[in-house]
């Protein structure tokens, strides 16, 4: 039998002064938000996990079921702070394989951090 179809979601966390957050903080806030919004059954249907997190750049990859990406996006919109620090949780890209997700993550410019003076608007 074919296994679960998954999607890999590349995200970026924007915060004032480019603060760094640990992986367990990000996973914790994500879990709490999903639980509050969709409940325990919803969380089990989402079948999500934070599989990679770069705390320096504030980026990472979340894995979830392919038909619940919309739920994860909605949950991302509801995340307004991590440990009391206001943030914006933005989803950059959704892919179908972990290999492609890592390729995209590595190819993103380092200036994609808010407040970086070298950041050039992607016109």
Partner 1 sequence: MNVKLAKRRFIDLHVFSNLSIGSSSIDEIAQMAVELGYRAVGLADFNKDNLNLIEDLRRKFSEYGLDLISRVDLNCSSPSELKRKLRFYRRKVEIISVFCRNLQIARLAARDRRVDLLNFTYKSRQFNFFDASEASLSLKGETALEINLRDLLFAGTSGERIQFFKICRENVKLAKKHGVPLVFSSGARSILEMRGPRELAAVASLLDLTEFEARETLSTIPFNIVQRNREKLSENFILPGVRRIRGEIDW
CB of 118 to partner 1, least distance (A): 12
CB of 69 to partner 1, least distance (A): 8
CB of 4 to partner 1, least distance (A): 21
What is the C-alpha separation between 53 and 110, in angstroms, rounded?
Answer: 15
Could you tell me the strand order of the sheet in which 81-82 lies? 49-54, 59-65, 6-15, 85-95, 81-82
Residue number, 39 or 100, with CB nearest to partner 1: 39
Exactly one of 47, 49, 80, 97 binds partner 1 (CB under 8 A); which one? 80
Footprint of partner 1 on residues 31-70 (CB under 8 A)?
36, 70
Q: Cα separations (Å) of 114 from 15, 31, 66, 90, 120?
A: 7, 25, 29, 12, 10
Exactly one of 39, 44, 77, 103 binds partner 1 (CB under 8 A); which one? 77
Find all residues with CB under 8 Å of 23, minimum gap 6, and list them: 50, 53, 55, 60
Interface residue list for partner 1 (CB under 8 A): 14-16, 36, 70-74, 76-78, 80, 86-91, 112, 114, 119, 121-123
């Amino acid at each position: 039998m074919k296994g679960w179809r998954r999607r890999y979601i590349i995200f970026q966390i924007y915060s004032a002064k480019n603060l760094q957050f640990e992986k367990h903080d990000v996973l914790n806030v994500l879990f709490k938000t999903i639980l509050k919004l969709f409940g325990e059954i919803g969380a089990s249907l989402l079948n999500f996990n934070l599989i990679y997190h770069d705390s320096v750049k504030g980026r990472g990859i979340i894995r979830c079921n392919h038909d619940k990406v919309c739920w994860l996006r909605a949950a991302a919109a509801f995340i307004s702070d991590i440990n009391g620090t206001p943030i914006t949780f933005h989803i950059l890209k959704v892919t179908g394989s972990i290999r492609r997700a890592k390729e995209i993550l590595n190819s993103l410019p380092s200036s994609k951090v808010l407040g970086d003076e070298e950041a050039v608007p992607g016109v």
